[in-house]
Structure 1
Amino acid sequence: MKKILIMMLSVVALTACSKDDNNNDTGEEKILGTWFLVEAHNAPGIEINDCTTQSNITFNADNTAISEFHAYSDNNCVSSTDNTTWSKTETKYTFNIPTFGPATGTVTFNGSKFTFVPDVSPTTSIVFEKR
Structure 2
Amino acid sequence: MKLSSHRRGMMPTEFDVSTMRTGDQFFWWVEVGELNPSVAIDPILWDQAKRLRAGKVSFSAGQDNLLSVSGPSETFRVLLRPQNDIDLNEQVRIRFGNRTLRLDFDGSIEHLLEDVRRRADRKRGFWVSIDVP
Q: TM-score, normalised by structure 1?
A: 0.31
Q: TM-score, normalised by structure 2?
A: 0.31
**RCO comparison, higher one (Cα < 8 Å, 6+):** 1
**When you count strand as a share of all residues, which structure comes out higher?**
1
Query: Could you say which structure has the larger radius of gyration?
Result: 2
